[in-house]
A and B are shown apart, each in its own frame.
Chain A
């Protein structure tokens, strides 16, 4: 370090040092505020998405779920529910709720797919939770097994959703909705998040492959033609009894009246 000790008292030393320091400072600053590279651009878009999601959340959800999704008297905390829950609840129109009834019902979604993604990103940013899926990721047609799915459905799902997936009643006005006409990703997300009255079916209870089989069985039941004639709602013997007492006996008694009518 002879060089430094030799010239440190040089008359140009101070201005040079000042110049060097200013340059260093300027460079650091310019690096810190420079236009982002390709890698940091994704991170930034993500933070914008989260920002956007937060804005939607503040407008549409915070009155029940709290300003920081910490939950309030009416709505539960959303910290840790993950993107899967948001995608299921919002993209099927269940959230935001229309009224404070027992259960949020399925309706036309309020937010479009992009807004749902933003909301999901925001909620997922609060704490880790199950991620959302796309329909393309759920490869039920390739990996599912209908018969096995039927067994699994009858074992795990039919007690609430009915043997043909038509839905059924639960206590106090809650109900299991029909699983007909539901997008595969939403069926999958429902199983992993357990929305509303539904329990969570973790990957240990029902493996991902088995979940695909269940979806395949549901899709097969959905597209199965009504083999015996009018399906009568596929809700079991109640509608059959109704038909017998109205149309069946109605016709028979009507004809008995006709047979015994006096000719005038």
Chain B
């Protein structure tokens, strides 16, 4: 089944959620998203296995999600703007994000040292684990809530109803005989 690759070469605004560059190209396979996804997922999963504060992963600045980091639902530009004349920010200093610039973070983001308990705005039946899975799959910019929200939504739509391009291809196949 041919992939819809029409986005290649089109302006970025058509698909703001995807990031295209030469890093997605391969001289044999051209763009093999499956391979890229697998490799990155494996790496991200491995990095998320950081098991203790102060271990090697912690020193290398790997993901702190399991330690209770609330970065995936944060709503501030902390990682980009950084603090005190762009010197640092909490995750760079080794501690999970509290999402302390989010509305009512004191009620919605605590306990701070447990994985996201329930995430408002994603619908009641979406668990933090699911968000985490999508997150690692996409290796998305950790603080872009919209990106994660729509990624979760897309995934759920995909399991409940067929994705948009599938019905059209089904129509052509079922229309032929």
A and B co-occur in one complex = no
Residues of chain A whose beta carbon lies under 8 Å from any beta carbon of chain B: none
